[in-house]
Structure 1
Amino acid sequence: MCRPSRFPIPPFVFWIILLSGAAVVGNPGQVGAQERTYLEMRAEVVELYDQEKFSEAAAVLEAALEIYPDHLMANCINLALMNVLMGTLDGSLAALEYGLDHGIWYGKYTFLDPIWTPMKEHSGWLAVEARIEEAKTAAARIVKPRLEVVLPEGYDPDRRYPLFLALHGGGENVDLFMPNWHSPTLASEFIVAFPQSTQLIAMDGYNWTEDIDLSLEEIGSAYRQVADRYSVDTDEILVGGFSSGGVASLEVVLKNALDVKGFVVLCPAMPEGFSADEARSAGGRGVRGTLLTTEMDGRLDQQREMADIMKGEGLPLVFHVTPDIGHWYPEDLAGLIDQAITRIRGGS
């Protein structure tokens, strides 16, 4: 969708809108004469935004706060954004406070884009920020590890199966990640484990890179749980994931936290402390890998450098760049995962 370059919706905000796309029926008494879905309301907001009619978009979003309570976070954030674009900063803070008053809070990275700077310079921002941190701290106290396991078609406990540890991206959870990380080979041949980090950075979003030592501990625990419950071929363990999950996967490999055969990572940052020595050691243990990324990923140069070091140190690696896409899942990811698995297992 083409958008005015003068007023770009920050990617994380538009991402929230997209992820809030389940159809929800509004109250016709509040939306005029006709019922409409949340998607229809959202489309109107996007159209008004494209036309730079921020005041009208704000009015639609303000009415939507009560009509679509299941999408309160997206509507509060985007109402705040429209007010920023109008220069009504009191309205921006009021939109965020409405959400806080109704039981939601905002993620660690929600307001990083420079478009939010005027709001964050407002005298009332510090009080809102303190409320967000208080809500996050309270929520973090009750977070528990989560593990979802998908067994291969026709699973037979008398057979041994390879295991793929699949790690979600930062700000995601396993429910969002699982539909994106799949392939025919995984479905037919692998036990696939989807652990969820306990490092809370949004209301239902978790990260692996807030505390890498804790992540390695949780990934190891997930592995042991799966190996204890299911028939796992411990000589054929693969690890991989998206973004922050890709970083955690690389940390598992480079720090030899688990005896893995290979890795498949998508759009990772370079792990902190990454070294040629670690890459050489992993290659010496027989590890093979695939580093997938995208043409418009902001870390492409860093990823290319990391791939060159790995290959230069004898770690067999395929580096693949998908064109015309940013930091997200390519449409052909399932095929790319299967190609990577074939290479890791010794195929061509």
Structure 2
Amino acid sequence: MRSKILLPLCVLAVSVSTSFAQLNKYNSFEEMIPRTLKYYHDNQLDSAILLAEYAYKTFPAEEEDAITFLGGLYTRNAQYKKATAIWKAGHEKGYCFGLDNPSYDKYYKENSNFKELARVERNWYQNSHIEHEVVLPSGYDKDKSYPLVFVLHGNSSNMKWAKKSWLSEVMQTEYISVFVQSYAFSNKNKGEYKWKYDDDKTIKELRNIYENVTESFPVDTNKIVFSGMSAGGYLALQLAFDELIPMSGLVVNCPVVPKDISDKAIENFVAQKKRIGLITGENDFAIDNQKRLMEKIDKQGGNTKLIINKDKGHEYVEEFSSLLDDYLEWIIE
């Protein structure tokens, strides 16, 4: 399954003179994301908008991603009318963009159209809750204790799809596995969900699941691993470095890296002898931040494993299951 990244206001990034003939070389918006991000970070918003608008018109299967990028780009470029119009069009198709995020306040404080869009999304989320599924290992024995792994799906995904990718022999025979699904959907019609960052409800409900599982099953609480893909990796990193939930270590695939991981948080992570295994592709748009984080942990004497797959991007590699086996055994050895 291909994971998509949705990071409103934080992601987004040729020249306006770039012709559509040049853009024709792209086969998907996913291929365009690194270049879009580059222009965004270089403050070339008109150029980034050109890319996202082209993707919106050209790749209907990735319409949700394109709208998310465009809404953020239009906002940064003070094109508020365009942003609210395209978000409204997305709502009509069942997309959700996290418009209740306080980061939008400085742009839309007095904008009645935006406030209505945010109200709609709050109502959608109000009665939604995080779901989870526990998968027991083969030969499960309630009188034994088992390591535990939590799996957090990527954005525009769900726990059912995550189960198809996070599947390995070690998980099936040695671990109790918990697949977790966000309460925040990104596409109601397709059953796609995304994670809300720095969200009290998400943290509270994850803690409740953690406590329920560790009390209901014979878990070795010294061997608890959090894992995730992309945005799920972001959340796993946040839980670890903010010390929000006890764990032994992390196994993350192509994670988006939180910008606010402090040196002190890394020092504490290392002091607690936690381990982190990271798998990524050399063309992943987040690779610079991934490498930077691992280097910081290494410098403080931490325990890390980093695999960078040649010619790969923001994706699962064919040998992911075997890599996962190696990492899961290493984390708890």
TM-score (norm 1): 0.64
- Name which of 216, 223, 226 aligns with 2:210: 223
Matched, 1:279 2:276: no
Q: CA deviation at 1:138?
A: 3.5
The answer (yes or no) to whether the contact 1:215–1:248 under 8 Å persists in 2 is no
Matched to 2:287, the amino acid is L
Matched, 1:6 2:28: no
- Aligned mates of 1:321, 1:216 — CA distance in 2: 30
Q: CA deviation at 1:188?
A: 0.5
Q: CA deviation at 1:202?
A: 3.0
Show the counterpart of 2:317: 330
Q: CA deviation at 1:337?
A: 1.0
Count of aligned positions: 261
Show the counterpart of 2:11: none
Q: Which has the larger radius of gyration?
A: 1
- Greater RCO (Cα-Cα under 8 Å, separation 6 or more): 2
User: 3-state SS of the aligned residue for 2:164?
Assistant: coil
Show the counterpart of 2:300: 313
- Name which of 145, 151, 154 aligns with 1:166: 151
Q: CA deviation at 1:135?
A: 5.1
Q: CA deviation at 1:75?
A: 10
- Aligned mates of 1:299, 1:177 — CA distance in 2: 20
Q: CA deviation at 1:99?
A: 8.8
Q: CA deviation at 1:331?
A: 1.4
Show the counterpart of 1:292: 279
Unaligned runs of 5+ in 2: 1-20, 33-56, 68-84, 99-111
Matched to 2:150, the amino acid is L
Q: CA deviation at 1:250?
A: 1.2
Show the counterpart of 2:289: 302
Change (3 A) 1:213 1:143: closer
Matched to 1:264, the amino acid is V
Change (3 A) 1:210 1:282: closer
Show the counterpart of 2:77: none
Matched, 1:141 2:118: no
Show the counterpart of 1:33: none
Change (3 A) 1:188 1:212: same
- Aligned mates of 1:150, 1:12 — CA distance in 2: 35
- Aligned mates of 1:148, 1:77 — CA distance in 2: 27
- Aligned mates of 1:242, 1:190 — CA distance in 2: 19
Matched to 2:94, the amino acid is W
Show the counterpart of 1:105: 94
Matched to 1:215, the amino acid is T
Matched, 1:189 2:174: yes
- Aligned mates of 2:293, 2:269 — CA distance in 1: 14
User: 3-state SS of the aligned residue for 2:233?
Assistant: helix
The answer (yes or no) to whether the contact 2:152–2:179 under 8 Å persists in 1 is yes
Matched to 1:11, the amino acid is E
Give deviations 1:247-280, integer Å, cap 9, x for gaps: 1111222122233111101111222311222112
- RMSD over aligned CA atoms reads 3.7
User: 3-state SS of the aligned residue for 1:179?
Assistant: helix
User: 3-state SS of the aligned residue for 1:281?
Assistant: helix
- Aligned mates of 1:235, 1:76 — CA distance in 2: 43
The answer (yes or no) to whether the contact 1:197–1:218 under 8 Å persists in 2 is no
Matched to 2:237, the amino acid is L
User: 3-state SS of the aligned residue for 2:165?
Assistant: coil
Matched to 1:197, the amino acid is S
Q: Give the % identical residues.
A: 25
- Aligned mates of 1:141, 1:207 — CA distance in 2: 15
The answer (yes or no) to whether the contact 2:275–2:331 under 8 Å persists in 1 is yes
- Aligned mates of 1:212, 1:76 — CA distance in 2: 26
Unaligned runs of 5+ in 1: 14-54, 62-73, 81-92, 110-125
- Name which of 230, 255, 258 aligns with 2:242: 255
- Aligned mates of 2:263, 2:287 — CA distance in 1: 19
Q: CA deviation at 1:240?
A: 1.0
The answer (yes or no) to whether the contact 2:253–2:278 under 8 Å persists in 1 is yes
Q: CA deviation at 1:328?
A: 1.5
- Aligned mates of 2:218, 2:271 — CA distance in 1: 28
Change (3 A) 1:331 1:277: same
Change (3 A) 1:335 1:136: same
The answer (yes or no) to whether the contact 2:134–2:178 under 8 Å persists in 1 is yes
Matched to 1:174, the amino acid is M
